[in-house]
Structure 1
Amino acid sequence: MIFPPDYVCRYDEKIMRLANMIGRKKAGIKPGGKGSLQWEDPEYVILEAGVTEDMADVGLCLGSYEKHSAAEVAQMLNKPEDWCHEELMKLAVYGACFVNNINGIDMFWTETWIPGTMEMIVNNMDNIRKYPIVAYAMEAYGRVRGPLSSGAFPIGVGLMRVIPIESAIHGESRRADYEEISKYLEENTIFSVSNCSCRTDREVMGEGCGHIKEDMCIQMGHAAEYYIRTGRGRQITRDEAYAILRKAEGNGLMHEIPNTDGSGHTHAICNCCGCGCLSLRTAAMFKNVDMVRSNYTAKIDWQKCVACGQCVENCPVNALKLGQKLCSSAPVVKNITTAITPRDEDWTEDKWNPDYRLNRENVVDTGTAPCKTNCPAHIGVQGYIKLAAQGRYVEALDLIKKENPLPAVCGRICNRKCEQACTRGAIDSPVAIDEIKKFVAQLELDKASRVIPEKRFDTNSHIKIAVIGAGPAGLSCAYYLALDGYSVTVFEKEKRLGGMLTLGIPEFRLEKNVVAAEIDIIKEMGVVFQTSVEVGKDITLDALRKQGYAAFYVAIGAGGGRKLGLKGENAAGVYTGVEFLRRINSGEELTLPGKTIVIGGGNVAVDTARVATRCHSESVDIYCLESRSQMPASEEELEEAETEGIRLHNGYGPKAILSENGHVTGIELKKCLSVFDENGRFAPVFDESDTITVAADHIILSVGQTIQWGDLLNGSTACLNANQTIAADAFTYQTGQPDVFTGGDCYTGPRFAIDAIAAGKQGAISIHRFVHPGHSLVLGRDRREYKALNTEAAVIEEYDNTPRQKPDTLDRADVGSFADSRGILTEAQLKAETSRCLGCGAVILDEYMCLGCGQCTTKCKFDAIHLERRYDGEGIEFTELKPVIIKQIVKRKAKIAVKKVKKVFGAV
């Protein structure tokens, strides 16, 4: 048994006898001897932590499942009734027995360990504070006993049992009322809600999974009376119980019930997650799914499935994975159903999955839709394209915002990695995914059509989080923290919100009303913004800690311009690209008469060149190291620049800037022979003898960005890398200062908005876990690892030959205007464009591992996955369970023996 190293066992024979009695061991056996529990067994440990000998004395009089009054116990012990009642109440409050008032008399009795006694002990928060060992004992019980139950319980009679989400079995002709949650709520009149004992347990052990424990488990009838009376739970109404269940379902949780009260009867409903629940560990770790499964199994309609991934990401036991729908000339994984199970195999440790909370997989080995894979935020692209095709624009927007809270922004500036990977691109042109998103996201710009998402949790509002920087990473983190119910304040040192979205991108690419509209939604979610506040200068991290901020998300971006150390680069008329754009976007009226040279090949360089034409430059030329095909700037942007008269010169790098009387007059450039080395790393090689000199009145150096840390990290244990990015864990984004998390350009260096947005959500997930003591930053967390299918092997037998749709250019903007001239697809164009999607991906089900909980069905927007009744198991009373298990064990042993014989003769 594994307990904390400082645990010291108290050997008490009376308490051991009580443990044996609750565990239904034979009466009269020697404590700790043969047939008895042992001193290191969790059943003994969980009692000895807080049960006194007096409490054990009265407890031993109760027997198992036998109700007794204090008067009866007093008679057995020849002790005063008041004293017996007091000790029995102590035992009940501790959790080692039930108490109910029956016909005006307090009646006491004990039940089994799980479900029952152990949860009751752990659900007493005083026990957790005084005796944390009880949590270790409860966890150990399932870890030790779980393997022993493998294959031993027929379907339907396990100690805990999954009950499908009721809406998932709506219309199922073979459903039975004992499989409906509503039956149990309607048949009871008293209800309570308590913390989840499993998640409490996990928190104590430092293994919380991010699913919070508060107000999770519902008790009914005698259990509710007990929980209310002993302070474990608070009384709620039936309507409140329904509301708790609905919120749990929405948050990806499933339902289980204690299954020991007989068919159609239970005293509690648990809202469980696969990563925290100790009952579901039986399925996920030991693969003993029959012990807990419902009578249902999911079934996928591949014709309707669009691989949005919602069912995969919400499946509690990873029974669903994204796969491939397209035919292929190469082998493709189509079946993932577990073939080796405890039903007919000796269930040894090598067949378990002990790392199930770390090794979750979203995709089969042969890959899935490349659009979802290649998107840094892994948005369900196929899903929102299908929803848009069906005219379900609000639902499409909701699906996008599960990963990206700034879809209108990204619809205008995204670098479209999804389109770069699109399978359709091998036929003619990629699906115009970004244009579809832009159309859908127009809903964000109209106040009347905006949807403010419902908060996932009601219990986090007292926790304050500070986000430092209001760029895409900070806005994303703030959005998802607000969605989780936290009190979020964003500190921005500039006067305007949006970071590089407002200060680093010109209006003709991203109009500021678009950014403002999406920030308004975040404000409506309760996020507070403080502008013109530079953390480190105007207020420090320590000062914010004193104000009660529990965690920080640092997302200050890379807002400084970079120079190259060239001779003459400090002359008047030389700007960095970032500085130049900031001044323009801040409203400064700059004019650049004469000739302007821009150095750089990225989108920022092209933006600065296009802005320069709007600042009255006579001519604008771009010089860059890369060939046109190597340039980081998009081809669309290059074409727009050339349309505006900007000339592009590839294969040149700056050597020196020329000046007279302190003002720039030109630039000397040298020929670039290669930009990258054999490993693809930036390592330019020049011919220093091959130079040209170009006259210039203004030079804009758009060759990179710097991070302006100021005094932000002073006194912190967070540290910087050699390139001045902040050091942090690549998965959790936690820095060297435990309460400081980071993301975006200050962590990665300059990248695209969608990269920062994706990092912001992951930062929010980490912060959510961090501020709840005892939660791990990694256990049970989706690692978001995706793999694209082999598009070269895809066999596309037929497809819609509609050409890629292009939005019209708007008449309102002449060339040279700062207005965005790019239009939006018409609804007819949208329908045509969505029809071009090949529908590459689909979901694959492991039918054995499926619990039949219905989460997948409730998350699917396409009617593509249903529950089917496959079994007819029913619960039985705990006292009747033993002969049923013996019969099942005999049957299983026979199956194992037959299978071994067949193996000998080559039949299997």
Structure 2
Amino acid sequence: MSEAELKSVEQAAAAGAGEKKAAPVKERVLDLANHINRSKRGTKGEILGTDPEYRILEPVVTEEMAEIGLCLALRTPRSAEEAAALCGMPADRAAELLWELALAGVCFINKIDGVDKFWLDTWVPGVMEMMTNNKENVRKYPQIAESFEAYGRVRGPKTAGLFPVGVGLMRVIPIEKSIMGETRRASYEEISKYLNENTLFSVSDCSCRTARESMGEGCGHLKEDMCIQMGHAAEYYIRTGRGREVTKEEAFEIIKRAEENGLMHQIPNTDGPGKTHAICNCCGCSCLSLRTASMFKNNDMVRSNYVSKVDPEKCVACGECVEVCPVGALKLGRKLCNDKPLKAPKYETPRDTKWTSDKWNPEYRTNRQVVADGGSAPCKAGCPAHIAVQGYIKKASQGKYREALELIKRENPFPAICGRICPRKCESECTRNSIDEPLAVDEIKKFVAEQDLNAEHRFVPEKRHSYGNKIAVVGAGPAGLACAYYLALDGYRVTVFEKEQLAGGMLTLGIPEFRLGKEVVNAEIEILKELGVEIRTGVEVGKDVTIPGLRSEGYEAFYLAIGAQSGRKLNIPGEDAAGVMTGVDFLRSVNLSGSGKSSAPSLSGDTVVIGGGNVAIDVSRVAMRSGAASVKQFCLESRTEMPALEEEIEEALSEGIEICNSWGPVRILTENGRTTGVEFKKCLSVFDENRRFSPKFDDSVTMTVPASNVLVTVGQGIDWGTMLEGTKVELNPNRTVKADPTTFQTAEPDIFAGGDACSGPKFAIDAIAQGKEGSISIHRFVHRGQSLVIGRIKRDYKAFDRDSLDLDSYDRLPRQKTGHVDGDLGKATFRDLRGTFTEEQVKKETERCLSCGATVVDEYMCIGCGACTQKCKFDAISLTRVYDGAGLELREIRPAVKKHAVKRALKLVALKPFKAAATFFVPSEKNAPRPDGKA
């Protein structure tokens, strides 16, 4: 159990213990709890005053209400007059009390033959959901939600292995499209059957997510308008205000919307074969029924008759199915042969093993794994945004470029930008490195993204929701824009505040046009505007507007992504002389000049650039284009240690830039306040034995380099201005903001941060990945009761060991290349002269992909919901019918369970299992106290 969950349970336990001391047990209410439970007081299976069945009734049911409730029967309708006669109560008073019970959720009410009739149902599914769907009562009495949640923790473990497939109280029904290809065997597996057989429908909030939200454990899957009731249940929900009436067509639309948002279906399974009164649209992280599978691993209790099957030849390890699976049954693995095959771990299930608490997964909402032991495709693991590289390459190989673009934009809204400036970590990790050369992933992405630059072919995704909360993003760089993009997809009203006159941050101001044209940046920003994002440039937060002021305007959360846009100094003599400038300021001046916002600095004479990173390379190349007679670049690192990408270094050298390695600046020489040169000394090493920055020099080896201009590019700093005044936001010693590494929340709860301002200078793709994570946190933050971590997918994608693969049988295929840019031509223009693959080259290059990753299925854990099939764009995953279980009417369930339990007991004896563990004593997630404080 996570720390937050444990704290929540401890608080509930303390509250429950206090209530128990303050209020004696209501005896008739306790009688009613046992009556609903079909148990007798004083027997072994009785409900006690500390049990959740009593505690859910206690705050809203009076002794008088309980008295008449005891005159109702399980699923046998009775009028108020009939119930009143059984306890000698006046009929009009009985009618009033029964209506109060119905409003509270303790009993059903329907008009039958013109008369209101009432009856009781099971605890779950039944009374507890109905009581939790009285939102006003839940707000007043949180113990209602807590008791509903606690019920499964108390009772759930005791059912492990006892229910045959298809007989559980709740049952997964596959998404219908996922079984369309199956031979029709049983209509009760089809959602449409239940909708088409009914005429009255209602929709209500999800009771499970309502309970979780009440406890502060929401998972970000919101509860509103998610569960459909039919027939008598719809009549009850409409009359008592729990739900609103909808048409059959609207019910089908709700089902469709749920599926599009990654939810799956369950039904109450106690009405008899092929019958039900409700359809729940569920997520695995909050559903109290699916907890049976995820926490207790008692999957037979809820599963459908189907199991997911993956065709590894079609699978491209995109991860879409893995992240949507509600119970973690799918993981990414590998499909290439390995000279060290993994041994399948010993696998126990409740079917053939005594099922004790050591076999549970109480932290299932925070510890889900996305990769199988042994790892998966290294390209997806190496990408900071974990883009489905293998997936979009497959789509590109099929000529389905728009679908490839859609797949990229799931994780990166700026593919055209990244196709020009990405550090290509996916290529560094590519399995083909072990054969010949890595796949030209970035060139393929660049080709695919070209259509996004054309307004006629641009891919603008549809909005998923329309939440409408106002969110402020500070900084229009890659992190801020990515955060705004994903929030806009959910229909948030996002305003981006940018201090500069141009949006794009360092994409616009810090990268030269010959690497990233402004038209490319503007085209991708235009999509954000089409999604409704407002970008206000020339507005400095802290000066023109303030965070407290924006709060007063209704902004509910803030994302700080101001980047690291100020250059650092060397702190050496002469640094303030004319002709000395930071490389970042130099690039900004050049980039702004094209928009008329400033005049470009014109260089003359010899220019020295100090620094060895990618930005320093850019500065050198821009200096060459800005009139410098010569450009020499000096850095501490040796040629092999330079942090700049090899490709960037080669381009600089081809343009006549001289790179001088292993030299450190001592002082800048001046005359009459003007730069004349730089003195350097030899650098012997840059890092110590622990790879920490600790340069060592030989002071006796120096040289003086004449220079009219010195461009210092040794790092970037963060200028917060007055933005953080009046907030609790804290900074690290390097001026980056302190934020949680998972949620990116700062010390001020409504302020989140990301990008270079949070991590320090990195690449655009790193900032984009943080922007998406920030949007997830903000979505959860602005909705009551949502946890920032529960149910959040930890995208811990890990690569397999490339060295252990058997790759001898693969052909050596040459890597496709774009035409080489002549250095003399390149340095004469700011235009991007680099080419793009032809369609024929894309076809050839995509053939080189080894398609080394694939999804693997844990067939026992799979509950057959079909959510995975709806996310797969490659027809690689399908549902196969492997069971033949049908639901039973409530009165038939207990005998069926007893019969199955006997068979299981005989099986356990035959298998000679390990000695039975101690009896269950823990009704909580990870052995925590019950909400009432009782052990």
Q: Same fold (TM over 0.5)?
A: yes
- Seen in structure 2, the aligned counterparts of structure 1 residues 332 and 339 have a Cα distance that, compared at 3 Å, is closer
Measure, in 2, the Cα distance between the counterparts of 1:903 and 1:53: 46
Deviation at 1:901, TM superposition (A): 7.1
**For 2:109, which of 96, 99, 102 is the aligned residue?**
99
**Residue 828 (1) aligns with residue 837 (2):** no
- Asked whether the 8 Å contact 1:431–1:836 carries over to 2, the reply is yes
673, 676, 680: which is aligned to 1:669? 680
1:191 partnered with 2:201: yes
> Conserved in 2, the CA contact under 8 Å of 1:800 and 1:835?
no
Matched to 1:609, the amino acid is S
Distance 1:6 1:881 in 2: 36
**Which deviates the most, 471-480 or 893-902?**
893-902
2:395 aligned with 1:387? yes
Q: Indicate yes or no: 2:32 matched with 1:18.
A: yes
**In the alignment, which residue of structure 1 is the partner of 2:475?**
469
In the alignment, the residues of structure 2 paired with residue 813 and residue 19 of structure 1 have an alpha-carbon distance, to the nearest angstrom, of: 85
Which position in structure 2 is the counterpart of 1:324?
334
Residue 347 of structure 1 corresponds to 355
Write the deviation string for residues 652-685 of structure 1: whole angstroms up to 9, x where unpaired: 1111001111110000011111111111122111
Counterpart-to-counterpart distance in 2, 1:102 and 1:391:
61
Question: How many angstroms apart in 2 are the aligned matches of 1:392 and 1:182?
Answer: 32
**2:452 aligned residue:** 444
Distance in 2 between residues matched to 1:858 and 1:657, nearest whole Å: 63
Is 2:283 the counterpart of 1:240?
A: no
Match of 1:817 among 825, 829, 841: 829
Q: Distance in 2 between matches of 1:107 and 1:361?
A: 49
Equivalent residue number for residue 509 of structure 2: 503
For 1:87 and 1:800, locate their aligned partners in 2 and report how far apart those are by CA, in whole Å: 80
Give the structure 1 partner of residue 931 of structure 2: none
SS at 2:315 equivalent:
coil
Q: Which amino acid aligns with 2:14?
A: P
Give distance in 1, aligned partners of 2:514 and 2:536: 27
Aligned to 1:303: 313
CA contact (8 A) 1:799 1:836 kept: no
Q: Secondary structure at the residue paired with 1:675? A: strand
2:766 is equivalent to residue 770 of structure 1: no
**3-state DSSP of counterpart to 2:576:** coil
Deviation at residue 534 of structure 1 after TM alignment: 0.9
**Corresponding residue for residue 406 of structure 2:** 398
What CA distance in whole angstroms lies between the structure 2 residues aligned with 1:546 and 1:4?
A: 37
Cα distance in 1 for residues equivalent to 2:811 and 2:227: 51
CA distance in 1, matches of 2:525, 2:622: 25
Q: Distance in 2 between matches of 1:813 and 1:361?
A: 50
Higher relative contact order (CA 8 A, sep 6+): 2
Query: 1:567 is matched with which residue?
Result: 573
Deviation of the 1:814 alpha carbon: 5.3
Task: State how many pairs are aligned.
Answer: 896
Code of the residue aligned with 1:5 in structure 2: it is A
In the alignment, structure 1 residue 710 sits paired with structure 2 residue 721: yes
Distance 2:68 2:627 in 1: 94
Bigger shift: 65-74 or 365-374?
A: 65-74
More displaced stretch, 252-261 vs 444-453: 444-453
Structure 1 position 120, deviation (Å): 0.3
Deviation at 1:457, TM superposition (A): 2.2
Q: CA deviation digits over 1:340-396, x for unaligned, max 9?
A: 011111111111111111111111221111111111111111111111101111111
Q: Is 1:371–1:419's contact at 8 Å kept on the other side of the alignment?
A: yes
Q: Distance in 2 between matches of 1:38 and 1:455?
A: 49
Uncovered stretches (5+) of structure 1, i.e. residues with no partner: none
Residues 693 and 902 from structure 1, CA distance in 2 versus in 1: closer, same or farther, beyond 3 angstroms? closer
Call closer, same or farther: CA 1:901–1:825 in 2, change over 3 Å. closer
Which amino acid counterpart does residue 525 of structure 2 have in structure 1? I
SS at match of 1:538: coil
CA–CA distance in structure 2, aligned partners of residues 199 and 628 of structure 1: 57
Which residue is equivalent to 2:294? 284
Tell me which of 859, 873, 897 is aligned to 1:885.
897
Q: TM-score, normalised by structure 2?
A: 0.94
The one of 423, 428, 438 equivalent to 1:420 is: 428
Do the aligned residues in 1 keep the contact of 2:52 with 2:148 (CA within 8 Å)?
Answer: yes
Measured after TM superposition, the shift of residue 77 of structure 1 is: 3.6
Q: Distance in 2 between matches of 1:227 and 1:526?
A: 36
Decide whether the 8 Å contact of 2:625 with 2:827 is kept in 1: no
Q: Per the alignment, in what secondary structure is the counterpart of residue 424 of structure 1? A: helix
Which letter maps to 2:449? A
Q: Offset of 1:577 from its aligned partner?
A: 0.6
Larger deviation, residues 727-736 vs 53-62: 53-62
Aligned to 1:361: 369
- 1:228 aligned to 225, 238, 252, which one? 238
1:95 Cα offset (Å): 0.2
Over residues 131-183 of structure 1, what are the superposed CA-to-partner deviations in whole Å (9 max), with x where a residue is unaligned? 11101100110001000110111100100000001111012015411000011
Match of 1:865 in 2: 877
Paired residue for 1:46?
56
Letter aligned with residue 175 of structure 2: I
Offset of residue 863 of structure 1: 1.4
Name which of 92, 97, 100 aligns with 1:82.
Answer: 92
Quickly say closer, same or farther: Cα 1:267–1:901, change in 2 above 3 A: closer
In structure 2, which of residues 526, 529, 541 is the aligned counterpart of residue 523 of structure 1? 529
Matched, 1:594 2:605: yes
What is the DSSP-based 3-state SS (H/G/I as helix, E as strand, rest coil) of the residue aligned with 2:267?
Answer: strand
Task: Determine what percentage of the aligned residue pairs are the same residue.
Answer: 61
Contact 2:220 2:787 in 1 (8 A): yes
Report the alpha carbon displacement of residue 800 of structure 1 after superposing the two structures with TM. Answer: 4.4
Higher mean alpha-carbon deviation, 309-318 vs 629-638, is at: 629-638
User: C-alpha separation between the residues in 2 aligned to 1:241 and 1:489?
Assistant: 34
The alignment status of 1:784 with 2:790, answered yes or no, reads: no
8 Å contact from structure 2 (residues 427, 441) kept in 1 = yes
1:731-754 Cα offsets, whole Å, 9 max, x none, are 111111111111110111111000
Q: CA-to-partner distance for each residue in 1:770-813, whole Å, 9 max, x for gaps?
A: 11121111111111112111111211143343311112368997
* Aligned counterpart in structure 2 of residue 535 of structure 1, from 534, 541, 551: 541
Do the aligned residues in 2 keep the contact of 1:191 with 1:221 (CA within 8 Å)?
yes
Distance in 2 (CA, whole Å) between partners of 1:529 and 1:789 is 42
Q: Say whether the 8 Å CA contact 1:21–1:64 is kept in structure 2.
A: no
Please state if 1:150 is matched with 2:160: yes
Matched residue SS, 1:327: coil
Secondary structure (helix, strand or coil) at the match of 2:456 reads helix
Contact 2:219 2:786 in 1 (8 A): yes
Q: 2:556 aligned with 1:556, yes or no?
A: no
Q: What is the CA–CA distance in structure 2 between the aligned matches of 1:466 and 1:497, rounded to whole Å?
A: 15
| Equivalence for 2:463 | 455
1:700: how far off?
0.2
Moved more, 281-290 or 807-816: 807-816
Correspondence for 1:315: 325
Aligned partner of 1:220: which letter?
A: M
SS at structure 2 position matched to 1:545: helix
Q: Distance in 2 between matches of 1:452 and 1:730?
A: 30
Q: Is there any run of 5+ residues in structure 2 with no aligned partner, and where?
A: 1-8, 594-598, 917-935
* Matched AA of 1:342: P
Which deviates the most, 72-81 or 439-448? 72-81
Partners of 1:867 and 1:903 lie apart in 2 by 37
Who is 1:256 aligned against? 266
Structure 1 stretch displaced more, 170-179 or 294-303: 170-179
1:813, 1:75 → 2: CA distance? 100
* Residues 373-431 of structure 1: CA deviation (Å, up to 9, x unaligned): 11111111111111110111111111111111111100000001110111112222110
Give yes or no for contact 1:154–1:885 (8 Å, CA) kept in 2. Answer: yes
Name the counterpart of 1:6: 15
Q: Where does residue 663 of structure 2 map in the other structure?
A: 652
Task: Give the match for residue 925 of structure 2.
Answer: none
One-letter amino acid matched to 1:551: A
Contact 1:324 1:332 in 2 (8 A): no
Structure 1 counterpart of 2:928: none
Q: Quick one: distance in 2 between partners of 1:439 and 1:123?
A: 51
How far 1:506 sits from its partner (Å)? 0.6
State the distance in 2 between where 1:451 and 1:92 align: 50
Q: Distance in 2 between matches of 1:718 and 1:711?
A: 12
Counterpart residue identity of residue 565, structure 2: G
Q: Residue 675 of structure 2: SS of its match in structure 1?
A: strand
- Cα distance in 2, alignment partners of residues 782 and 373 from structure 1: 15
